[in-house]
Chains A and B, each alone.
Chain A
């Protein structure tokens, strides 16, 4: 990214550890919601990584890819959240019967 190796190491190291911790939470999360939260947070971190890559390659086309990726990630999160919410209501109706 920059000329200095130290700045690259700090930036990509910290971002990589953040993504790695989210991945660990995704793998051993106790419930579905924690996995969903971990995937959403990883997607937002990937937006930041794509923005850094666009500066690193000096090509502002990657910014459009970041926006599109964010849009698709948002739709994915909304669909999964609505689905889990509707499942909660149905389970309640089944319990009442």
Chain B
């Protein structure tokens, strides 16, 4: 009984992670400009990887330590990589979509050059 509940919990976590991967790909395909694309895909893939690794660790407890290592690693590296990519895109004046309302960083950077 306990084992069945554990399996159901683990498989539903893995399915949730796969669903987040699907939405990340969809956001990357359909969003209008680079900023929204990166926002949609980075958050979704980070949470999807957390969810898949935790699900595998719950399914088999001997995998739990390394699954937690994978989770810590992705939590450390993925936001840093996203921030670096978006700063490079902003400094190169990547085009914004028409619906952009406010750009607070334009006071700090002007034309890719720091004030």
Q: Which residues of A contact B (CB under 8 A)?
A: 2, 7, 10-15, 17-22, 24-25, 31, 33-34, 36-38, 40-41, 44-45, 47-48, 51-52, 54-55, 58, 60, 63-64, 66-67, 70-71, 74, 77-78, 81-82, 84-85, 87-89, 91-92
A-side contacts of B113, CB under 8 Å:
89, 92
Which of under 10, 10 to 19, 20 to 34, or 35 or more describes the interface residues of B? 35 or more
Return the contact of B74 from the options A37, A63, A70, A84 (Cβ within 8 A).
Answer: A70
Return the contact of B81 from the options A11, A13, A74 (Cβ within 8 A).
Answer: A74
8 closest Cβ contacts across the A-B interface?
Answer: A21-B25, A18-B25, A18-B21, A63-B66, A14-B18, A81-B84, A33-B89, A85-B88
B-side contacts of A52, CB under 8 Å:
14, 52, 56
Q: Which residues of B contact A (CB under 8 A)?
A: 11, 14-15, 17-19, 21-26, 28-29, 34, 37-38, 41-42, 45-46, 48-49, 52-53, 56, 59-60, 62-63, 66-67, 69-70, 73-74, 77-78, 80-82, 84-85, 87-89, 91-94, 111-113
